[in-house]
Structure 1
């Protein structure tokens, strides 16, 4: 503790004495004011707050400062302090730097709640109930029901859920203040509310700025039988099943996975219905342009059977993203009741090209002509169902 002294060298009249003691009366527990660092030692920090003696930060209040915070304090620095006691038995104001910062953090949190504002903060820990987030010196809590970055799946064990929750520690997320109770030292936050509002704002921006023909990057957020949803940074766009690949696919998972980062082409933007149509295949070469240049009627090719129908079998050319139809009449010289009598899905076959219609994206294949060297006339009627995929 420093020696008790009044700065008498600067006090030469009764009026100045009274002014100095009036400054003591201006100090009261809980007051926050600006001071100047006069000295930093391992045991205490002396701070000039305009009183007759320097204020002191010592004991537990000194221990509340991190090594980094202590190292940053230099003589002559301005610092905000919280008055614990206007004057101790030695005449020194008892001060706290940590409580001043905490008080300001509470005020900041109250302002955010009042303004319904979104703010960013780092996750510093977790427990079974949720995430721990520090807003400056104030410890905030995010219940699991208010965590948007973590979904609990039906098959999750408690250990698995806790493991995934631990991966959020250290991440900076967006939050809103749900509840403040300073008397109970209670600050409840919500990531879900912040994300919901942030995504709405981002979606409005995207819908305003996006134009058909744009190329953007995003992350696959979910899959459905009819396509894949891509998070474009606040708004989801849909890649319809037919826009995922030039080839035939039955489910989006054949092309993309949840979490995959993709570059997509903007097909359409419906601002009224707030929908964004995307395409993956439009950024890839149209395979039919290569078919015209590479293949001709009469060529023999290797193909893999992808689908059986009542009128024949579809087969994908090996090394190409193009399918052809082997009509049921082209499977074998003999009568075939069902395509499954000759081939099954996954079979690799040798087939002859008997028809190419690039403008209608039709490729006719034949097994029987490849085997028996029959001329490729392709004179059968193309089934309408084959064009429907």
Structure 2
């Protein structure tokens, strides 16, 4: 930008600024010397030499007249002011060392009507594509900033259950295309209201949907996936009856702990919304399954029929907490049937922390060895005795089924307090081994196959 405006490069411009500060500092120093000399002559009429001081140093000058440069970052959205507009580019001041430029394809993507509305001095949000290209320009995009802010907006609308008034702008073989905040959303045919579907006729998409272009429509967002650029809408969800009044009625009818049938209405990163009797409740990601999930779509899809358990009702905030996991068998409990307090087990140290060490006993079952249970003498950190990967014999000292917690001890492995229990367990194991070793072989009855005629009695004389 400097090359185009003044024929200077960034390096040349920096040199000019530096030289200005040097000359400016030199002039101020001479002025201070003259003033100090005059003051000394007045204060010392007998010709004593004053001690010269120089308060205006180069450092203080730079501090007082420094240029604050806030360097932009890739992907950052900034608010700027339009500095100039011409047919090939738009210059935007964003508080950086040079003005940003919207040009090339980024400028061509602006519709003519939007471009005509832009004025010099107008403030707008821009997206930083490149903080400095080969020509030293900050490359900006107006459309990308609009798009990013639109995705932020629609993501917030999912949890708010907002009803959006919009217009049908297109269609495909599966449904209608509707604009929401600059984004193109899709209304599947199954999510179109019964009143609108009653007007549908014809076999081809054109025959069914073409006449609906530019018609107003009320929709609600049911699924947002920014990475896949997926925005799913529903006209059926934006019913004529007030959703607030429906939810209030349903909340008064629901009971905590009860199980209800429902239908998945939308998916988000943090969980799934399930409609029960006309009101939506949230199944948090942690309540979907006992297994660890990254996203609800791994096990659910919009429209799926499910059974859920009501685990929480907040009548003030009108929120319904649901759970799928509560209806599934807890695998942790079945794993824990083989463990008892006082039992000796073998564990692999998986993680060290300041407060203790975690050890894996079996599968994904882990227990905690508190730092106080590692050694009989005081230690500052478990790493003084343990290392990740160590295989240790440990004693179970606590089991908390509801919290899925197991307390382990290394220092109580040889504790006299558990001697009697250890002896009984060893004796039981010994008896089991003896029983298995000396189990008599299975006897088969073969009397029918053998000759069982008793031998003749010997002659008495013989």
Rg larger for: 2
TM bucket normalised to smaller: 0.3 to 0.5
More strand by share: 1
Q: TM-score, normalised by structure 2?
A: 0.39
